[in-house]
Amino acid sequence: MQEGVFTENLCKRFGDFRALDGVNLVAPAGTIGSILGPNGAGKTTTIRILTTLTTADSGRAFVAGHDVHARPHQVRSVIALTGQFAAIDGGLSARENLILIARLHRQPRRVAKAKADELLERFELTSAASRHARAFSGGMRRRLDLAMSLITSPQVLFLDEPTTGLDPPSRERLWEVVEDLRDNGTCVILTTQYLEEADRLADNITVINHGRTVAVGTPPELKLAYGGEIVEVHAASDADARRAAKSLALTAGLDDSTVTVNVGSAQARFRVQSGTFTVAAAVRALDAEGLDFIDINVHRATLDEVFDVVTAAEHP
């Protein structure tokens, strides 16, 4: 594997609580690896271990080829972390924030100024370079925060829910920056509460639940393996929807208890393996029963639906 991030069977306890119970993660250089999981699943603990903010009780972790436990100083020299809240000084201008970080990393003043100007242009902040950061919008603050993380040109960048609270245009612009970093060889580790964000950005996704890795794959692989396809039928009434649900479950070889009927919206919905059910099959089954319907569609499961399936299956 090209040097990026690698963990094997990471475990961590806090007293009697087992925060991590075997987390495995692989993200080569030049890729975006996303860590997903419910609140309390172990995402933050994993990031804290990888960024040397805490240590694992057992297991292995390497960042840019460095053993996190044995060589924490080397790890810190090649990473950057952007947390959930922008860590900028509102009393300084955008340029001053960037120069401050560069100088703290012992870059010569001339180099620091040049790097600041380069990042201001890259993040479309040049026109606001002299304004106090406290006057920035949320999107501008997040872009400045990310720019500050890139002062040292890290080999591995950790992004912890970077677009929380941003409006759609600001999120889109930040996504483009992250994709550009990936394309230029940076390994990006992303945690997010927006599953469409992981679907858009991630080359590989690791789902963690109750401290364990429960699913790994590209977004299409996960959708195929765990989501399958979703069949939805809109009927004229709730009663018709229930009858349609029983008929289609029988046609699909499923127990009708696996079919969800949304009361009030007259909609029946269930999941099948990809390629095993078609709209034509559904229409034939309903026609055979003399059931009227308004609409039928079969579509690939979304990452949200995959997430629900994977985490529900792992619930204790």
The three-point CA angle 228-229-231 to 5° equals 145
* CA–CA gap between residue 221 and residue 214 (Å, rounded): 14
Rounded to an integer, the average pLDDT of 151-159 is 93
The pTM is what? 0.81
**Burial class of 102 by CB neighbour count within 10 A (0 to 12, 13 to 18, 19+):** buried
Position 258 scores a pLDDT of: 62
| pLDDT single digits (tens) 89-141 | 999 999 999 999 999 999 999 999 999 999 999 888 999 999 999 999 888 88
Whether 315 shows a pLDDT value over 70: the answer reads no
CATH of segment(s) 229-300: 3.30.70
Q: Which has the closest alpha carbon to 20: 208, 204, 158?
A: 208
Whether 226 shows a pLDDT value over 90: the answer reads no
257 pLDDT band, cuts 50/70/90, is low
> Right CATH number for 5-224 from 3.40.50.300, 3.30.70.100, 3.30.360.10, 3.90.1150.10?
3.40.50.300
Whether 52 shows a pLDDT value over 60: the answer reads yes
CB 64 within 8 Å of CB 79 = yes
Portions of the chain given CATH number 3.40.50.300:
5-224
pLDDT over 90 for what percent of the chain?
A: 53
Position 253 scores a pLDDT of: 73
Position 267 scores a pLDDT of: 80
Distance (Å) of CA 311 to CA 168, 192, 273:
27, 16, 18
Whether 168 shows a pLDDT value over 60: the answer reads yes
| pLDDT single digits (tens) 169-223 | 888 888 998 999 999 999 999 998 889 999 999 999 999 999 999 999 999 999 8
Rounded to an integer, the average pLDDT of 285-305 is 79
Portions of the chain given CATH number 3.30.70:
229-300
Position 191 scores a pLDDT of: 93
Phi-psi region of 153 (alpha: psi -120 to 50; beta: other; left: phi over 0): left
